[in-house]
Amino acid sequence: MKIINSVLPVKSILKTVENQFDYVDSFQGNFVDKNGNIGSTEIGKYFFESGPKWVDKLLAFRNILVRPFGLKTSRNVADKQKMLDNFKYEKGEQIGLFKVFDKTDDEIILGEDDKHLNFRVSLFIDKQNESRNEKKLILSTTVKFNNWFGRLYFLPVRPFHKLIVPLMLKEIIKKIEY
């Protein structure tokens, strides 16, 4: 399975405010929706189940480092699976640092607003192929820096982000197809 660099989809909810971002990246992979029933809720579910295990440790370390600066942190969740089972992937719901900002049949927007930066993650299903079952999944991230600390914070985050996101996208697609 090949994951490639892409662009923010023209039909993405985030495209309407694109010029307001300081950072944007997108990665894309193709998948086969065998039963034609994969939508944004399923993609959102797979997103939360697809992170490499070492990312959880990295986020825990991040939380320790940023807590003294008053940045938002995700709570230590003892039973993550129970939270995921009860999560409906609807606008306004939140798990950890990820709030659902918007949702359509083909896209879910996750993210958070904090004092140093605001970020959004778009999981967009592109159904433009003639085949009903062959689709693209485009995972886009946008960041708006709110101050100099946001820029400074993002410097060491960026290389990890560019490593983690394609791995997650690959894992999401594996979950869809199996």
Evaluate whether 57 touches 64 at the Cβ level (below 8 Å): no
∠ Cα 71 73 77 (to 5°):
170
On the question of pLDDT at 75 being above 70, the answer is: no
| Residues of the chain above pLDDT 90, percent | 60
Residues 6+ apart with CB under 8 A from 73: 62, 63, 66, 67, 97
Task: Provide mean pLDDT across the span 124-135.
Answer: 82
- In tens, the pLDDT along 26-57 reads 999 999 998 888 999 999 999 988 876 767 67
What is the pLDDT at residue 135? 93
CA dihedral over 101, 150, 74, 158, signed as positive or negative: positive
What is the pLDDT at residue 129? 65
Question: Of 56, 93, 99, which Cα lies nearest the Cα of 76?
Answer: 56
What H or E segment, with its residue span, contains residue 173? helix 148-177
Across the chain, what does the average pLDDT equal?
Answer: 87
Give the pTM: 0.87
Task: Provide mean pLDDT across the span 164-174.
Answer: 94
- Two tokens, residue 33: 């929706």
Task: Provide mean pLDDT across the span 134-155.
Answer: 95
What is the pLDDT at residue 76? 55
CATH no., domain 4-177? 3.30.530
Domain locations along the chain = 4-177
